[in-house]
Amino acid sequence: MNQKQTMVMFFLLALISTLIFRQSEADANYCSTTAIDNVPGCFDAVRLASDFDFRWLSKDCCQAVRIFLDPCYLIVYPGKAYPIHFFQSICIDKFPGSNL
């Protein structure tokens, strides 16, 4: 290999490494769904709430949503993520005066 090819290879390696690092960094802002997956029907209720249908949110589901730490983004559909405080606010409004 000549010097020009070596430089191109080094550049491509650096570019690929940077892109891989940035991808993992972006994923760090997404919420884990473990808490809401443990409450039957909760993820579906949260998904519907993202379209302003709050009927299916139960008190148990809202308590699971409360566990999330802000700031993180909950992916409700592929390519559609909402900040978790969006759902936490809905739960507070739906169950006013409760210990949510």
What DSSP string describes 29-54? TBPP-HHHHTSTTHHHHHHHHTTT--
Q: Which two tokens stand for residue 3?
A: 């010097």
Instruction: Please state, rounded to an integer, the average pLDDT across all residues of the chain.
Output: 82
Task: Give domain status of residue 4, yes or no.
Answer: no
Task: Give domain status of residue 67, yes or no.
Answer: yes
Task: Give domain status of residue 100, yes or no.
Answer: no
The count of structural domains within the chain is: 1
pTM higher than 0.75, yes or no?
Answer: no
The pLDDT of residue 63 is above 90: yes
Q: Do 36 and 64 meet the contact criterion of CB atoms below 8 Å apart?
A: yes
Task: Give domain status of residue 49, yes or no.
Answer: yes
Task: Give domain status of residue 1, yes or no.
Answer: no
Q: What pLDDT does residue 54 have?
A: 94
| Model confidence band, residue 19 (pLDDT cutoffs 50, 70, 90) | low
H or E stretch at 10: helix 3-27
Task: Give domain status of residue 12, yes or no.
Answer: no
Task: Give domain status of residue 7, yes or no.
Answer: no
| Model confidence band, residue 91 (pLDDT cutoffs 50, 70, 90) | very high
Domain that residue 47 falls in: 33-94
Task: Give domain status of residue 17, yes or no.
Answer: no
The pLDDT of residue 41 is above 60: yes
Q: Which two tokens stand for residue 36?
A: 């809401």
